[in-house]
Structure 1
């Protein structure tokens, strides 16, 4: 019996010591970062800061760092691609209710998956028509009322919606809250 007790007293501390060498898993906080002058769009290669309208950023499984886009339209073109859509981890867009259209402020990024989007308005982005992004439904509704277009949630934006953006003037908006 003494041998078993000695064995336990020797092995038990070794088990605790073995755990000390393991790396702890740390959740990495991914967030939007400032887009510097001269940075190119991940999708089209255009210089991001040369154009008006909301920009997008995202993190995707299997790719290091974040990807930056010259417009919300380019970001969504990447997101809705079947090869990419299940790998999107975080996505960010400008809240256009609190930043100027011509030069969006880098401090105004919001969670793209929680945002509301106006499609079919008259304002232009880097590649022509773009999705105006807002953190609040009321702000998106007010923008649509003044600039035209319809309000969509993140999940409602599909490839078909993006393709039809040039002629989109239908009432496919979300029901009123």
Structure 2
């Protein structure tokens, strides 16, 4: 009987170790890296050529199949991400840190995790087709931008469809003068 108890204990410990290892493998899955915007890339939402417009851009990469969706503005990225069918989807989102790049032509090296960013909604700066959300890695940079160009600073989780529609005139093509 003594011999069967240690065997049972070894089996239980082995099962526990295997269970613990399999859980940690899922947690250590690497996040997809951002993808450069290339000349001719089209916005997943509106079909416009992304690099033809000023202001921050966005991208979504689905974790399951690494499918990349690119957006001509942070506004279009949020419009896609906030759709009911996309809210619970596993995807990595990136936006430009506008404190690190030029408004007229954002650089792909300035892409940051969109969920960690701060957004200025309602500023005077325009992106593709008009109002957009200026994105920043730090709240201090977002506050500075809002003080200079107007608007309200929000965290990713605070952005709603109402924010996206604010100031948008459906007949206007502001930002098209680029």
Pairwise TM-score range, normalised by the shorter structure: 0.7 to 0.9
SS of 2:109 mapped into structure 1: coil
- Deviation track 1:122-170 (CA, whole Å, cap 9, x = no partner) reads 1110121000000000000000000000000000011122122449xxx
Q: Who is 2:150 aligned against? A: 148
Q: How far off its partner does 1:62 sit? A: 5.8
Q: Who is 2:61 aligned against? A: 59
Could you list the runs of 5+ residues in structure 1 that have no partner in the other structure?
Answer: 1-23, 168-177
Q: Who is 2:135 aligned against? A: 133
Rg larger for = 1
How far apart in 2 are the matches of 1:153 and 1:55? 17
How far apart in 2 are the matches of 1:122 and 1:41? 23
Matches within 5 A, 1:1-150: 27-60=29-62, 64-150=66-152
Q: 1:41 to 1:144 in 2, by over 3 A?
A: same
Q: 1:88 to 1:118 in 2, by over 3 A?
A: farther
SS of 1:84 mapped into structure 2: helix
Contact 1:79/1:88, CA 8 A, preserved across alignment: no
| TM-score normalised by the chain length of structure 2 | 0.75
Number of residue pairs matched by the alignment: 144
Could you list the runs of 5+ residues in structure 2 that have no partner in the other structure?
Answer: 1-24, 170-178
How far apart in 2 are the matches of 1:57 and 1:119? 19
